[in-house]
A and B are shown apart, each in its own frame.
Chain A
Amino acid sequence: MNWIHKDLLGVRDLSREEILFLLDTADSFRDISRRDIKKVPTLRGKTIITLFYEPSTRTRVSFEIAAKRLSADTINISTSSSSVVKGETLSDMGRNLQSMRPDVIVIRHNMPGAPHLLSKILDCSIINAGDGAHEHPTQALLDLFTMREKKETLDGLKIAIVGDIAHSRVARSNIFALKKFNTEITCCAPPTMIPPGLEELGVSVTDRLGEAVVDKDVIMMLRIQKERGGTSYIPSIREYSSFYCLSEEHVGLARKDVIIMHPGPMNRGVEISDRVADGAFSVILDQVENGVAVRMAVLYLLSGGES
């Protein structure tokens, strides 16, 4: 299969086959990170810029490590050190960066569509590392990678996604991706955090955590997006946690071999209890490890590589 996309703006644009191809490619990259010498020359001479308009640790480091293990040169820009503070527009910033001839720009932005704006005006590849409440495609891909790793196949999985669905790009990307497979998805949140028309995406909706988790193969917990006004949709974090914090009793209602996922950063005691986060069913740290392999695959394919 040849990879035809210049950019990765969202998983909604990808086909089932393309997602599987990407996951297979990631598979082949995973061993590199487990070697003593964690570097291959695959992307030597390529320049990758990460442009982060929003704070991030996991995603930014994951992209940087992925790029470095493929021998690409990386430059990290975050808003505090960029000319954004001087009032430069995103378009101008993009055009300026382009003049320095990067091969890939990885962008994280608090506004939906920001990567699309860059994609329209720049020739280099654009990777969406999270745009507001829209998409976080590499997160969904690493989540699918982890699910496939633990469950062998994506088809037939029953998945609960719990938390602030309305403001979550992780939820959107996961729903878009998982609905390309034969999966059953239940979204669970207080009604104020369910976006209008959610059922249109082919998911079922419940506001009871105890119902959402029953018989599930996967439980994916999301955090409250305080930076997107998430706290004004609930009376308090404390009250939220008393109804929506995933406990061991909830886990007991799911399939015996359920996996518990979380895109991080976790708010322990809010959406997930310590015992579940650190428990036997948690694959949260596997997600992080797999994130590097998935991002290596994405960088590799967008930089013109073929499997």
Chain B
Amino acid sequence: MTILIKNGRLVDPASDRDERVDILIKGDSVEKIGKKLSGAGAERIIDAEGLVVAPGLIDVHTHLREPGFEWKETIRTGTMAAAKGGFTSVVCMANTDPVNDNKAVTEYIMERARAQGVVRVFPCGAVTKGLKGEDLSEMGEMHASGAVAISDDGKSVGNAQLFLKAMEYAHLFNLAIICHCEEETLSHGFVHEGHASLLSGLDPVPSLAEEIVARRDIALAAYVNSPVHLTHISTAGTVRIVREEKARFPKVTADTCPHYFTLTEEATLAYDTSTKVNPPLRSAADVAAIKEGLRDATIDMIATDHAPHDAISKDVEFNLASSGISGLETALALSLALVEEGVLDLKSLLRKMTANPARLLNLPFGQVVAGAPADLIIFSDKAEWTVDKDAFLSKGKNTPFHGMKVRGKNLMTIVAGRIVYTDPEFK
């Protein structure tokens, strides 16, 4: 199919472009970018007047729950949610059942993604078999089957020696190493230690639990000169650590999630389980530090940590509720608030959601240039809407943002030259 997108504001961080141009898509790639391109021969002409055209967003951290937890999410529903949210590539974490720690599971995910997926799916394999932290998983075979990264997300690899070997070994296959930083012995709680735990009586999770492992994982990586990526960082201390360590060891990257710059621990005080997330929502000072980290590029990426759950997993006591937020369908709007607030300009924001994740994962996506795969989105950075969990395409309706008025809405998602999502109101 040949598609011409006219009159849009193309913001492409990879090519450092922010200008009003037309984009011609032919087949699965971008054919031409230029002013006043002719629509002759185009099967579809889209008027993007007043709208932003950008590379499709890339999420380095989602949970698609398949195989094993299909009642929470499937590759089908998760990628539908991704497409609606403006994501054209997602990395799915290994904590499925069975765990994605061998090529059979990786192949299953890839096959399901080919058959059912709406956007591109890239599995993240487990670092250790069964996420048990004891033996290395077969990461080479998983890589050959399509895995782009490894992580024991949900916890840290407690055994430092083992993690060191994992980093060295993963280098063979250029696999990104994604660290969930949490010292288990310091982290038996449910909310941020301080104001939230003090008032609620809920067991605390100190910032230290994240920071001590962030410091350790970077030290391990530096020791073997391995790239290392810290995911969903949430505290002022971690931001400071990443900033300091990056100056010495530039192979460190980090991401945070929209909830860590949108909400504070205050949101947990009503025991609303939709605010239960790991790491927990932090203090106002942490939120300010996260924003500063995004602004000065200490934090390279914004990921969703999309963690869909069924209703019953959240309709219980706060202690017993599953952790996580269904985030794919709100991430763009919540992140665009950073632009409105003046934390980031639009190009810098999009860099953290396109070009930077693509570089971490060695993917040829996250850019809109002639010859590149046609993965792109058209969104309004002005459209106002109200988050409605019941309108989510994800099976996971678990969001603390239900009812919140937000600004900025994805209107169309194109993956490999095919339109995979169109907002009902976008003509």
Contacts and interface: CB of A to CB of B under 8 A. Distances in A.
A195 interface: yes
B315 A89 contact: yes
Contacts of A109: 317
Given A91-B316, A111-B319, A112-B202, A196 B271 contact: no
Nearest to B194: A197
Nearest to B199: A12
A114 interface: yes
3 A-B pairs closest in CB distance: A134-B201, A113-B271, A133-B201
10 contacts: A89-B312, A111-B319, A112-B200, A113-B318, A114-B317, A116-B270, A117-B271, A172-B201, A196-B206, A197-B195
A198 interface: yes
B77 interface: no
Interface of A: 12, 89-91, 109, 111-114, 116-117, 131-135, 169, 172, 195-198, 200-201
B204 interface: yes
Contacts of B317: 90, 109, 111, 113-114, 117
B182 interface: no
A196 B315 contact: no
Interface in B312-371: 312, 315-320
A114 B273 CA distance: 11
Interface SS majority for chain B: loop
Given A112-B271, A113-B271, A116-B270, A89 B316 contact: yes
A113 B202 contact: yes
A158 to B, nearest CB: 22
Given A89-B312, A117-B271, A198 B198 contact: yes
A196 B197 contact: yes
Interface residues of B, number: 21
A201 B194 CA distance: 11
Contacts of A169: 201
A166 to B, nearest CB: 9
Contacts of A201: 198
A12 B271 CA distance: 15
A32 to B, nearest CB: 33
B195 A195 contact: no
Contacts of B320: 111
Contacts of B271: 112-113, 116-117
Contact of B193 (A89, A113, A196): A196
Contacts of A172: 201
Contacts of B195: 197, 200
Given A12-B199, A131-B201, A133-B201, A111 B318 contact: yes
Contacts of B203: 133
